[in-house]
């Protein structure tokens, strides 16, 4: 259901657990569809022995994709006009991620209503892994 300007207020939030116990297979799936086959995300031997990381880790774009699910569930399909993020902490196998959108503004432009959202995705240690913003078309 699309959001409605009448029913929204600044400070409203929507939160979803977008992944629980992120598994390495999910990283392999994302490599396969996105075309980003960087072995840092799928090859434990390369990631630990050559690159020096503790294990493989998630593509930033996978975290953005997981967060995007919360966003489209909230604003409705086909309603996003902008979605941008900054990757602040790496995401590792075993992580749980919770994504939250907070209403920052409700506005009208040329007869169309929009909502501006702040986005934050946090892991099970409450570290922010993504922060960003989004804008969506909403109903009056």
Partner 1 sequence: MAVKKFPVEYTHIMMFARSVGDDNPIYHDEEYAKTTEVGGIIAPPTFAQASAQFDPDFFLRPKVGQPWMGSGREPTGLKPKAPSGGEKKEGGGGGGGLHAEQHFEYHRHLRPGDVLSVTVKPGKKWEKEGKRSGKLKFSETISEYRDQKGELVITARGVGVQTERVVEQK
Stretch 64-83 residues interacting with partner 1 (CB under 8 A): 64-66, 68-69, 71-73, 76-78, 80-83
Of 58 and 106, nearer to partner 1 (C-beta) is 58
**Between the CA of residue 69 and those of 19, 27, 39, 88, 140, what are the distances in Å?**
10, 16, 25, 19, 24
User: Mask 94-123, x = binds partner 1 (CB under 8 A)?
Assistant: ------------------------------
* Beta carbon of residue 13, minimum distance to partner 1 (angstroms, whole number): 19
Rounded CA separation 90/59 (Å): 8
Among 12, 36, 96, 116, the residue binding partner 1 under the rule CB under 8 A is: 36
Give the start-end residues of each E strand in the chain: 13-19, 80-87, 97-109, 112-122, 128-138
Its sign, for the CA torsion 52, 58, 64, 70, is negative
β-partners of residue 139 are 4
- Residues in touch with partner 1 (CB under 8 A): 2, 18-19, 26, 29-30, 32-40, 42-43, 45-46, 49-54, 59-62, 64-66, 68-69, 71-73, 76-78, 80-87, 89-90, 127
């Amino acid at each position: 259901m699309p959001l409605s300007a009448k029913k929204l207020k600044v400070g409203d939030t929507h939160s979803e657990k977008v992944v629980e116990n992120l598994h390495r297979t999910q990283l392999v799936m994302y490599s396969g569809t996105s075309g980003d086959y960087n072995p840092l995300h799928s090859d434990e031997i390369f990631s630990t022995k050559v690159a020096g990381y503790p294990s493989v880790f998630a593509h930033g774009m996978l975290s953005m994709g997981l967060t995007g699910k919360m966003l489209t569930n909230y604003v409705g399909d086909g309603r996003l006009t902008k979605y941008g993020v900054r990757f602040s902490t790496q995401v590792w196998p075993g992580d749980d991620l919770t994504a939250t959108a907070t209403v920052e503004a409700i506005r009208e432009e040329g007869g169309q209503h929009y909502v501006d959202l702040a986005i934050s995705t946090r892991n099970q240690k409450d570290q922010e892994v993504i922060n960003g913003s989004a804008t969506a078309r909403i109903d009056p």
